[in-house]
Amino acid sequence: MRISLNNLEFFGFHGLYEGEKKMGNQFLVAIQIDFTPNVSIVNELSQTIDYVLVYNKVKEIMSTPTPLLETLVCKIADQILLDHSIADKVFVQITKQKLAIPNFVGDTSVSIERTRN
């Protein structure tokens, strides 16, 4: 089974450069969590992954200024696996929507996929 949280929007002060730290930026976060329920039909919240809890943890992590997006994706993926014992695999992608590069059109993203060992 998979739960996805798509296009989560956060404003943050992540980045290495002073302009990023002062002006901030808009970030999009996408998460996919593959999990194996302990029952054949899920009909209670306790049998699945509560995406509200996932969202609140992502919001908390995204609120702390961090120089590298790589650090943020790792923290989010590790925290999801730690918080949700039925999670088997987690994919996290963070997209920085505006880059402080003259004449740059587009965005950039960093992603990670972590599997429970």
62-80: pLDDT as tens digits: 999 999 999 999 999 999 9
27: burial class by Cβ within 10 Å (0-12, 13-18, 19+)?
Answer: buried
**pLDDT at position 3, please?**
97
Length, in residues, of the chain: 117
Residue 27 has what pLDDT?
Answer: 96
Per the model's pLDDT, the better-predicted residue between 41 and 105 turns out to be 41
How far apart are the C-alpha atoms of 79 and 58, rounded to whole Å?
A: 9
CATH number at 85 reads: 3.30.1130.10
In one-letter notation, the amino acid at residue 19 is: G
> 9, 5, 17, 4: which is closest to 96 by C-alpha?
9
Domain count, the chain: 1
Q: Do residues 94 and 107 lie in contact, with contact meaning Cβ atoms separated by under 8 Å?
A: no
pTM here? 0.93
Residue 71: give the domain boundaries: 2-115
